[in-house]
Chain A
Amino acid sequence: MSEIQNYTLNFGPQHPAAHGVLRLVLELDGEVIQRADPHVGLLHRGTEKLAESRIYNQSVGYMDRLDYVSMMCNEHAYCMTIEKLLDIEVPERAQYIRVMFDEITRILNHLMWLGTHALDVGAMTMFLYCFREREDLMDTYEAVSGARMHASYYRPGGVYRDLPDSMPQYEASQWHNQKEVDEMNKNRQGSLLDFLKDFTERFEAYVDEYEILLTNNRIWKQRTVDIGCLTEEQAKDLSMTGPMLRASGVAWDLRKMEPYEVYDKLDFDIPVGTNGDCYDRYVVRVEEMRQSNRIISQCIDWLQNNPGPVMNEDHKLTMPERIDMKQDMEGLIHHFKHFTEGYMVPEGEAYCAVEHPKGEFGTYIVSDGANKPYRLKIRAPGFAHLSAMDFLVKGHMLADVVTVIGTLDIVFGEIDR
């Protein structure tokens, strides 16, 4: 009988548990992983190169398409870097709106992550529960920007427009009669903030529901506890950020360590894990959803009582009011210049990062003084996390690969760029 040797298994790029287009070349000894070699780049669109050929504001839309489950956070990092180079202020109301939508995005991202991660591991119900709540949050995206996913709502200098006074309504159809539709539209009668207020009150109970299903579930624990462990030193060495780092016991969160926008005025806690395994990362992310919920309700209270501008008033850099464009000569010139030439960003370089749901998402812009970035580098958290794949799965069983991919919370839009 011939000697049994290691064999190589190709996993993906078309695999439902690969979370997109990940191709993993696994070297197995029986069912134990000896080496994992992720092949990425199948979704490479050259965002960085494209941004070099477009004026600054045109690239905001590309940012949505990087990590396409946490759209507004990507825009946020990009806009903050430009604001840093331009040295301009963002009105306080716009800062609150940004923080509120960052946290909505965080919940959106974590719900997506929880649903698909649980589905990979074998819990079907979670997926249905999580997508139910995502629907409400997607509607807030739609109400504010007109698009359910790729919002391009943030702009350097503020946000595109103020929060709307009404929510989109369901309409009667052959599947839902008027009576059912009235019931569905019940919490959509007021403004966006009223709808969100209602959501934050409901959401805590939803998270309890998820936890009842998973937190003490024997099968869930068997699949996640002590899988893909990272110590504090290893996590830092492998460039981990966000929940991946926090689950290893490091209390590191940019919202607290380098507070941007209005995070220093808000009250929230940072959950930290102890073992750094998949289960701890689950617990950390679930708690982050509760904390995000707290932040959103604080933002709603502030926004309801403090009307004001949402865009920087320096119209050499930001879009003027439509009424000014129609009635005022200078407004017309500003509008024309803004859309035909853009604005020049002074020479220099800057790096700005936000606490993205997945980790530290940063953009590094080198400007030579032109209306287009000279070089834009996007620092995607998922890229660094996936690079640790080989380290994390070595010695684990084949089934654990799926758990580890899930726990990394990877999205190929940002990894491949």
Chain B
Amino acid sequence: MSQYYSELSEKVTAKLASIESVSATVAHGELTIEVSKENLIAVCETLKADPELAFDTVIDICGVDYSSYEGSMACQTRYASVYHLLSVTNNHRIRIRTWLDSDFPVVDSVVGLWNGANWFEREAFDLFGILYTGHPDLRRILTDYGFIGHPLRKDFPLVGQVEMRYDANKQRVIYEPVSIEERVNIPRVIRHDNRYAERELAAMAQEAADAKNTAANESGDKA
């Protein structure tokens, strides 16, 4: 699996070289490329049109808010829009990440390429406030009519900001500031686990050994 995706990764970077030099990583048998937001549409067009890649279905589009990310991955900006594409024809997948502006996240819409992207982009707009330019109908989708804020942003409180109840005097539903308090039963912790470090070292050693073997085999073939 990883073998196939490393080859696909080389193929993708080669085909996209004329647009931009994308950084591609293969982890857990999945290929991820990072694309600048200016080139997103051009990249997607290539990924869809090229018969060897033929990503004909958009599986998912989601926003990610990296503002409280504590891992070692370098986060360029606060928001990212992440696309999961699938090629039904060739049976492979790709993940595209585009870093968006921290203050005003905006990116071109891919609805023109895949109609299925329509609601996924609406959802990312609703939950993260990412604007997709060129989207035919960018309305809120999951939250209430007249909702204020973008609930999946990290600075949005888990308990929300308003609560709703029926007021018998006014004979209608009214909104009030929330009365419940957020509580954390189990704190969020990060421990640096040596077992994973060992596993990574072992995997790296294995990879180096494999590379050596293949090199040896190739030179053997040549001889």
Contact = CB atoms under 8 A, between A and B. Distances in A.
| Same assembly | yes
Interface of A: 40-41, 44, 46, 48-50, 53-55, 84-85, 87, 236-241, 245, 250, 252, 257-258, 316, 340-342, 344, 346-351, 353, 360, 362, 364, 366-372, 374-375, 377, 379, 383-384, 386-388, 391, 416-417
B147 to A, nearest CB: 9
Nearest to B152: A49
Contacts of B64: 366, 375
Given A49-B152, A379-B59, 6 more contacts: A41-B143, A85-B28, A240-B116, A250-B88, A347-B72, A348-B28
Contact of A391 (B59, B115, B188): B115
Nearest to A45: B142
B57 interface: yes
Nearest to A238: B116
Contacts of B196: 346
B191 interface: yes
A374 B193 CA distance: 18
Contacts of A379: 59-60, 84
Which 10 A-B residue pairings sit nearest by Cβ, starting from the closest? A239-B116, A368-B71, A387-B119, A41-B142, A347-B71, A377-B62, A379-B60, A236-B56, A346-B196, A44-B142
A371 B116 contact: no
B72 to A, nearest CB: 6
B91 A258 contact: yes
A362 B60 contact: yes
B184 A84 contact: no
Given A49-B152, A387-B118, A370 B199 contact: no
B56 A347 contact: no
B28 A84 contact: yes
Interface of B: 27-30, 32, 56-60, 62, 64-65, 69-73, 82, 84, 88, 91, 93, 95, 114-120, 123, 127, 140-144, 151-152, 156, 158, 184, 186, 188-193, 195-196, 199
A292 B69 CA distance: 42
B23 to A, nearest CB: 15
Contact of A239 (B27, B59, B70, B95): B59
The main secondary structure of chain B at its interface with chain A is loop
Contact of B158 (A44, A49, A85): A49
A344 B144 CA distance: 35
A350 B58 CA distance: 17
Contact of B143 (A44, A54, A238): A44
Nearest to A348: B27
Given A40-B142, A348-B27, A374-B69, A368 B158 contact: no
Nearest to B119: A387
Given A41-B144, A238-B116, A366-B64, A350 B30 contact: yes
30 contacts: A41-B140, A44-B142, A49-B158, A53-B158, A84-B28, A84-B29, A237-B56, A238-B115, A239-B116, A241-B59, A257-B91, A316-B195, A344-B191, A347-B72, A348-B27, A348-B28, A350-B27, A351-B93, A353-B59, A362-B59, A362-B60, A364-B82, A367-B71, A368-B70, A370-B189, A371-B188, A384-B116, A386-B119, A387-B118, A388-B116
Nearest to B70: A368
Contacts of B191: 344
Contacts of B188: 370-372
A48 B152 contact: yes
A255 to B, nearest CB: 13
B178 to A, nearest CB: 13
A342 B186 CA distance: 9
A366 B199 CA distance: 20
A46 B91 CA distance: 32
Contacts of A383: 119-120, 123
B186 A245 contact: no
Contacts of B58: 239
Contacts of A362: 59-60, 84
Contacts of B152: 48-49
A366 B67 CA distance: 13
A368 B62 contact: no
A384 B59 CA distance: 9
Contacts of A351: 30, 60, 84, 93, 95
Nearest to B84: A351
A353 B192 CA distance: 28
* Max chain B Cβ within 10 angstroms of own Cβ: one of A55, A239, A362: A239
Nearest to B185: A54
Contacts of B115: 237-238, 388, 391
Contacts of B62: 364, 375, 377
Contacts of B195: 316
